[in-house]
Amino acid sequence: MRSKSKTSLALPSIPLLKKNPIRSNLVRSALFMAVVLLGLSCQKEKKKRMLNLPRTDMASENLIPKPLKIIATESAFALDQFTAIYTSENASGFEEVGNFLAEKIKWKTDLDLPVNALAKETQQGVIYINQSDSLEINAAEAYQLYITQDSVVLNSNTATGAFRGIQTLQQLIPDAGNDTLAAYKVWPIATGKITDSPSFEYRGSMLDVARHFFSVADVKKYIDLLAYYKYNILHLHLSDDQGWRIEIKSWPLLTEIGGSTEVGGEAGGFYTQEDYKEIVAYAAKHHITVVPEIDMPGHTNAASASYPILNGNGKKAELYEGTHVGFSTFDTRKDTVYAFIDDVVREISEMTPGPYFHIGGDESHVTKKNDYIYFVEKVSKIVKKHGKRMIGWDEVAQADIDSTSIAQFWSSRANAEKAVSKGMKVILSPAKKVYLDMQYDTLSKFGLHWAAYIPVDTAYVWTPEAYEGVPLKNILGLEAPLWSETISTIDELEYLAFPRAIGYSELSWTTKENRDWEGYKVRLANQAPYLDRMDVKYYPSPLIDWKKSKYTYKEIKKD
């Protein structure tokens, strides 16, 4: 198992010096030599320790989403208190990825691994997160993971690729440490080589925080879970008839009045701009892009109740806490409406580093067709003016918009075809396949079933690559929306989202050749310890033979 490259990679010279104020070459090489010698002196004892490690098959690990290629070498790397993490120096974002990995290893194993620290005498195995320009991994978010007995080397062009790679590494760490191999706990990690990159560039989930409001803490937890399964998009549905959830400084009544309600008469709520920035920053730390949505010209009752001048349905807009759709509209022929939208898009875009702005555009049943088209065209220009790429639900494809706009196909194949004929990209969110608010079956505690019942197998067993005639080249990716008419707590949210959101991560990352329900079922069953540790109240679908786990979030905290 030992090779020259493995040994040299296990002794990264430059990162060791990162925090060292003395930067002379002499000191650098002296320290490097010291590390080399230290490494060599450890070899003997280390070899002995490794002989006792169990053989582990990387190819049968419970990885989700399943990587592109796995070559197992059936040995093990010992993760233990002597392991250290190093990252490439001067590679933007890599040290943060190393720190993130250390945090997650601490959480799972209670090990405190140093990141880019000077090597201690006791140091043995190394995890090296390396910036590499190799052509083999030049796709966005691609990475390679080489695990040998001596070292774990994660190569990626970008910090985002490295971040996806450390999710794989986290999943390879056994749930429980082994205390029979040594006087301390060891987590044997299967050796081999993984080469991986995603099928689709857009892998998202949407949270409807408008029908019911969810706190910043709730959203952060959802981000934690999405990141673990390599999602890269969180779409926030920030406004609807029942609530306006984002502070707009130039139009303060939106949240003061429009943020005060939610479905069922509960308290409502909204994000201050500081809250929103906190969510965006937290998502960015997880290499997830936030897509903000202001739904219009329909689904705008809360805005019109706050500022009646916006209203176009001819009736006085009263705050609304029911669940009907399609009764509200902006007045599409009023300049004030576009001045308002300009302010809203500007303020939100300024806080949103990602490239997208979602204008909604669904179910505008009381907007005349030509008014709707006029509206979408005008708003598409406003979005462009503020430097963003427009996304809209599939109805927007009826308007004369250019190929940079994106249609989110939720219901109408005809609209999806229109989008394709305009050269637009399409995000697949077919309600009957990926709506997380659809009930699993007739006994489901929460959710609706207007589109379908979606049990865990139906959610997984379909082929987005060939969905209803949308050409593969037009598919930007997949998004699983979670509408919140029937859920108001994080537990309820988790019941609907999990485990189905785990399957959608695989549909959007893994090639169709690498997917099969029988294999997935087993890998999913083995997510139970992670979900339990995260205190996720997932729906324990009877289709899955869930692995029994003794973990709970509280126990982990106590450890």
> Is residue 325 a contact point for ligand TNX (CB under 6 A)?
yes
Instruction: At 194, list the tokens.
Output: 């993984």
Q: Does 506 bind ligand TNX (CB under 6 A)?
A: no
User: What is the spatial distance between Cα 14 and Cα 16, in angstroms, rounded to a whole number?
Assistant: 5
Closest CB to ligand TNX among residues 262, 437: 437
* Beta carbon of residue 410, minimum distance to ligand TNX (angstroms, whole number): 5
Instruction: Give the x-and-dash track for 476-495 against ligand TNX (CB under 6 A).
Output: -------x-x----------
> How many residues of this chain interact with ligand TNX, rule: CB under 6 A?
10
Can residue 141 be called a binding residue for ligand TNX (CB under 6 A)? no
- Distance CA(140)–CA(167), nearest Å, equals 16
> Which three-class secondary structure string do you get for 395-448?
HHHHCCCCCCCEEEECCCHHHHHHHHHCCCEEEECCHHHHCCCECCCCCCCCCE
Nearer to ligand TNX, 383 or 454 (CB): 454
Q: What does the buried/exposed string (b/e) look like for 274-307 if buried means 16 or more CB atoms within 10 Å of the residue's CB?
A: ebbeebbebbebbbbbbbbbbbbbbbbbbbbbbb
Q: Is 532 in the site for ligand TNX (CB under 6 A)?
A: no
Between CA 385 and CA 379 the distance in angstroms is 10
**Is the N-terminal amide bond of 65 cis, ω within 30° of 0?**
yes
**Residues in the chain, how many?**
559
- Residue 293 touches ligand TNX, criterion: CB under 6 A: no
Q: Residue 550: which residues within 8 A CB-CB, separation 6 or more? A: none
Q: What b/e string do you get for 409-418 counting C-beta neighbours within 10 Å, with b at 16 or more?
A: bbbbeebbbb
Nearest distance from C-beta of residue 505 to ligand TNX, angstroms? 21
* C-alpha distance from residue 548 to each of 229, 531, 532, 536, 551 (Å): 21, 11, 10, 15, 9
Among 437, 479, 506, 532, binds ligand TNX (CB under 6 A): 437
d(CA 108, CA 49) in angstroms, rounded, equals: 22
Q: Which of 175, 362, 494, 506 binds ligand TNX (CB under 6 A)?
A: 362
Residues 150-179 that bind ligand TNX (CB under 6 A): none
Q: Which is nearer to ligand TNX, 50 or 376 (CB)?
A: 376
Nearer to ligand TNX, 356 or 483 (CB): 483
Nearer to ligand TNX, 68 or 480 (CB): 480
**Which residues from 445-474 bind ligand TNX, rule CB under 6 A?**
448
262 binds ligand TNX (CB under 6 A): no
Between 35 and 428, CB nearer to ligand TNX: 428
Q: How many Cβ atoms from other residues are within 10 Å of residue 273's Cβ?
A: 15
- Other Cβ atoms closer than 10 A to 455: 19
- Our finding on whether 214 is near ligand TNX (CB under 6 A) is no
Give whichever of 100 and 410 is closer to ligand TNX, judged by the CB atom. Answer: 410
Q: Considering the rule CB under 6 A, would residue 146 count as an interface residue with ligand TNX? A: no
Told to check if 539 binds ligand TNX by CB under 6 A, we report no
Q: According to the binding rule CB under 6 A, does residue 372 interact with ligand TNX?
A: no
Burial 255-265 (b: 16+ CB within 10 A, else e): bebbbbbbbee
Q: Does residue 440 belong to the site contacting ligand TNX (CB under 6 A)?
A: no
Provide the mask over 396-435, with x wherever binding to ligand TNX is found by CB under 6 A and - wherever it is not.
--------------x------------------------x
Q: Which is nearer to ligand TNX, 181 or 210 (CB)?
A: 210
- Residue 483 C-beta: closest distance to ligand TNX, Å: 3
Contact residue for ligand TNX among 202, 357, 393, 509 (CB under 6 A): 393
363 is catalytic: yes
Torsion angle, alpha carbons of 402, 407, 412, 418, to 10 = 20
Q: Comparing C-alpha atoms, which of 178, 259, 169 is closest to residue 213? A: 259
Question: CB 116 → ligand TNX: shortest distance, Å?
Answer: 46
CB of 464 to ligand TNX, least distance (A): 17
Q: Which residue stretches of 238-272 are H helix?
A: 253-256
Cβ proximity to ligand TNX, 113 vs 431, nearer residue: 431
241 forms part of the interface with ligand TNX (CB under 6 A): no
- Output the CA torsion 364→369→374→379 (10° steps): 20
Catalytic annotation, pick one of 95, 347, 363, 506: 363
Q: Give 314's DSSP letter.
A: S
Site for ligand TNX contains 551 (CB under 6 A): no
Q: What is the DSSP letter of 135?
A: G
Minimum distance of ligand TNX from residue 393's CB (angstroms): 4
| Residue whose pair of structure tokens reads 């176009």 in the numeric block | 312
Kindly state whether residue 363 participates in binding ligand TNX, applying the rule CB under 6 A.
Answer: yes
Residues with catalytic roles:
363
Q: Which residues bind ligand TNX (CB under 6 A)?
A: 325, 362-363, 393, 410, 435, 437, 448, 483, 485
